[in-house]
Amino acid sequence: MRRRCREPALLGMMAAVLTSATCADNRTPRPDVRVEGAWARAVADSDGTTAAYMLLRNVGDAPGRLVGLRSEAAREVQLHRTTIDESGLARMAEIDALDIPAGGSVELAPGGYHLMLLGAGPLADGDTVRITLDLEGSAPVEVAAEVRAF
């Protein structure tokens, strides 16, 4: 249930306090996903494959869900997860979505979750790759990932 908040300046002090309390109680919980420390690995090929990493922090009060990815710098961007199998080999697989808990964060880092950029490059140290994250229940987030050569 949503209720419109009235302009507190038009009301008395007591009414303003009551109004803001009412608005806070009835506000629809929303995810608010912020991105920190985004970077992508350099790639020499013009039609190469590379990975991007970042911290996804949800400062909102509802769970966030990453459901789509796109970039003008790549033909396709996929969400991947790396796991180690019984023989110690690293394998990665595409996953459909990634949940970011309310008030929590998920790290995309080498050896774990990452974004896979297919049909990307060349990307050199110091370049910037722009990636758009599509999230359920909130506006898309634009990410500027710094390209690093390591």
Half-sphere exposure of 132 (CA within 13 A, CB side): 11
For Cu ion, the closer of residues 104 and 110 by Cβ is: 110
Does the protein bind Cu ion through residue 116 (CB under 5 A)?
yes
- Which residue number is nearest to Cu ion in terms of Cβ? 80
Please state whether the peptide bond connecting residue 110 to the residue before it is cis, i.e. omega within 30 degrees of 0: no
Out of 34, 80, 81, 148, the residue judged to bind Cu ion by CB under 5 A: 80
Per CB under 5 A, the segment of 84-92, 98-106, 129-137, 141-149 that binds Cu ion is 84-92
Q: Which two tokens stand for residue 25?
A: 């109680």
For Cu ion, the closer of residues 34 and 80 by Cβ is: 80
Residues 6+ apart with CB under 8 A from 140: 132, 133, 134
Q: Which two tokens stand for residue 118?
A: 């297919």
For Cu ion, the closer of residues 36 and 76 by Cβ is: 76
